[in-house]
Structure 1
């Protein structure tokens, strides 16, 4: 048995020597480790007893530890008075061979011991040396405290001879205790009290309060650690910025969650709702309002100043897409004259204001067929109130003075007439020329015929089949207004297009 013990101790020392070559980072703190337990003799006449020990030690590398140990144990002996109990005091050294590193929460170990002992037995004080071999484990409770459990077989050699005839004793000791390590945990890189192997935030700044996982506390749960949080009481669910304060994307001082105008330009004064202040309530923020004291209800332009309405149609110039509308003409919200039937001719110029949808019309707003012309005063009408006469005045088709040469504006109008005629390829028309009463009847008749032919020639050049057009001159015989005024004579000098049935 003694040979086995010596060999085991030698093996432990050899293993320790090999492990000593390990140069990795390890916990080098000194510790104290008291234990209490029991002792059991390997002799038939000895029973069990109590045992206690105190060790002081530290690691030599990641897998090897060294301790100085002092212990006391007492065993009862069958048939002997108590004063003859076996009492054992030792002082020695231990080597601990760990199977895992100090980063593990459970560290089993092999322990080898050498000691000098004093044994009080049968009234004699016996001394000598001894060795031991055992197994144990450390259970990490915190960075400073470990629970220790250990069992060891000891072989004590007796150097004296006397009443006690034995030259060696064999005892088991079993102990349960703890280990306290002095100083900061070297396996806690950021010093927050959470070992690196458990620390999910290993680079926490010194002095910052952390949770059990090593991450900084965030009491308001906004995702910004308390030590960085400038608004630590933010309500749950609030979107915050990097400083932990409610987010304010446009920097107007109103948090996004309350900001009804979240994209306000930088530097613009805003109200509690985050919208630009508009002191006069004209819809233009003060920052852009050049007339900040406009009376309530005043229509203003983009600059906040009262809007002008040059054509007097009720639509401010800045909104008016048709700024030159004649006085008194009904207009829409865009300032353009109304076009009720959507034929492109404003109602005030449209002689057929109820043209069927999609019909191609003349410049006066009338389709060549299926339309209803508003009657002129004194004209005959049908049952629907539409003019029976199918003549359409081509307003704006004028000629140079005392000539049959078309003016340039007249050509533009005839271009539209030509497009309308193309839309009705089966309809033929009369092109009627009319004059005022100035000049002789014969001269006016000839002039009206020449002008009707000029219109035919121009339209033919625009692709209209010649045989569809019949030019007719009526001279001054069919006035539609008085010839006593210039305005009336202007009305009488005209070209009309008559649809032939």
Structure 2
């Protein structure tokens, strides 16, 4: 009786000690509380002189109730031989307390050897010498577990047990105590999943800050759906996944467009545009002063003449890259790198488009006087040979072109309209040709390379019946010799 009381006291101490240890464990807030089934088998050896050794097996259903403490309901069977070959058979039903010494089965510690102490109280039925008796007893011991997978563990134990017989059938002494050592090995199968992950996103519930994530949605380490653009709408619901940082979005993750002009608020520089008004990419009413299709705020050449082809910046096209836009270029196919006159023509190796009334080939290039190039913008003060400031600026560039072709000589031709006497116009054209030569000489062009010639009104290139036509006829040309 004293031994039985000592066993009960030891079991109670084990349970209370286990509770204290579990509270100190850092992982006690989340631990592996799954039910488990356990099957063990091994050998049993008796300390009693009447018994020898035999086999034993246990089947248990257990559950952790704290991080370091589990309870088990266990059934056991043992069969021992005796010196006279009479079997001693023992069937037990037992309640065990299992106290882990370290490495409690918590969410962050799922691997490694875990030693434990074990204590249990049992009721038993003993068959011995063709008689059956019942009683109570206890076991104390220890062992270890080692995980083989997330749901399967190897388990081993050694136990010392005391069985007390509570009846006196023939052949079994009353109040006789039997002492046994049992060593077993086996497996423990854990039921369910651990750590728990209710939404199946791969993040355990104890760390999941977004526990209701839909199936298949990619999550971050917190268990929350990924939001790549940081707009507050997760990727799986975001219909506009590339939203710029800081842009206000709607429930679909798309930038808000308060005035409905097609330009989201974060880019809209005119946020209150009336409904139906056409806007540019800034969200402002579309303005294109020169009508070239490029809005004013992007137009680098805002006064392009009507009908002139332009690039995306509103600049007139310059197909041959000579610096003279196509609509002003009399030589649209100038060789790359050539120095050109204001008309866009190189002095050598170029082809000029035919002027109105001139003979032209199939491609529209002049077939006569092809070496004649108009010095556009070279004008004079009224009824004089004095160059205007604009003309001097243009001739500065012409001088550079002439020096780029040092082996080329030119005739400087002066022309007038038909207003006034023929002789007067002839003399005026000669004075103007000489004025151009004189200015170019001052800019460094050798004078012997230039021959001034006056033609008066004899070679018009336009009608003299209109002011525009007469203006075109008042000109200076280079003719390459």
TM-score bracket, shorter-length normalisation: 0.5 to 0.7
For residues 419 and 479 of structure 2, what CA distance do their matches in structure 1 show? 25
Quick one: which of 47, 53, 58 aligns to 1:39?
47
When residues 147 and 254 of structure 1 are mapped into structure 2, their CA distance, relative to the original with a 3 A threshold, is same
When residues 385 and 316 of structure 1 are mapped into structure 2, their CA distance, relative to the original with a 3 A threshold, is closer
Residue 449 (structure 1) aligns with: 430
For residues 418 and 302 of structure 1, what CA distance do their matches in structure 2 show? 45
Partner SS for 2:328: coil
When residues 286 and 384 of structure 1 are mapped into structure 2, their CA distance, relative to the original with a 3 A threshold, is closer
When residues 320 and 137 of structure 1 are mapped into structure 2, their CA distance, relative to the original with a 3 A threshold, is same
TM-score, length basis structure 1: 0.55
**Are residues 1:255 and 2:234 paired?**
yes
Provide structure 2 residue ranges, at least 5 long, that are not aligned to the other structure. Answer: 1-13, 20-42, 55-80, 87-100, 104-112, 118-139, 147-154, 162-177, 185-191
Contact kept? 2:355, 2:461, Cα under 8 Å: no
When residues 37 and 304 of structure 1 are mapped into structure 2, their CA distance, relative to the original with a 3 A threshold, is same
Residue 412 (structure 2) aligns with: 431
Partner SS for 1:176: strand
Quick one: which of 365, 375, 391 aligns to 1:386?
365
Give the deviation of 1:396 after TM superposition.
0.6
Residue 268 (structure 1) aligns with: 248
Contact kept? 1:431, 1:471, Cα under 8 Å: yes
Question: Matched residue pairs, number?
Answer: 338
Give the deviation of 1:430 after TM superposition.
0.8
When residues 365 and 271 of structure 1 are mapped into structure 2, their CA distance, relative to the original with a 3 A threshold, is farther
For residues 77 and 383 of structure 1, what CA distance do their matches in structure 2 show? 131
For residues 300 and 452 of structure 1, what CA distance do their matches in structure 2 show? 53
Give the deviation of 1:28 after TM superposition.
9.4
**Are residues 1:139 and 2:149 paired?**
no
For residues 160 and 247 of structure 2, what CA distance do their matches in structure 1 show? 73
TM-score, length basis structure 2: 0.57
| CA distances 1:445-473 after superposition (whole Å, capped 9, x unpaired) | 44433332332233334443433222222
Partner SS for 1:460: helix
Residue 182 (structure 2) aligns with: 176
Contact kept? 1:252, 1:270, Cα under 8 Å: no
When residues 370 and 294 of structure 1 are mapped into structure 2, their CA distance, relative to the original with a 3 A threshold, is farther
Give the deviation of 1:439 after TM superposition.
5.3
For residues 376 and 337 of structure 1, what CA distance do their matches in structure 2 show? 21
Quick one: which of 479, 482, 486 aligns to 2:460?
479
For residues 44 and 445 of structure 2, what CA distance do their matches in structure 1 show? 125
For residues 267 and 488 of structure 1, what CA distance do their matches in structure 2 show? 59
**Are residues 1:148 and 2:158 paired?**
yes
RMSD: 4.5
Partner SS for 1:348: helix
When residues 267 and 477 of structure 1 are mapped into structure 2, their CA distance, relative to the original with a 3 A threshold, is closer
Give the deviation of 1:496 after TM superposition.
0.6
Residue 300 (structure 1) aligns with: 279
Residue 416 (structure 1) aligns with: 397
For residues 253 and 231 of structure 1, what CA distance do their matches in structure 2 show? 14
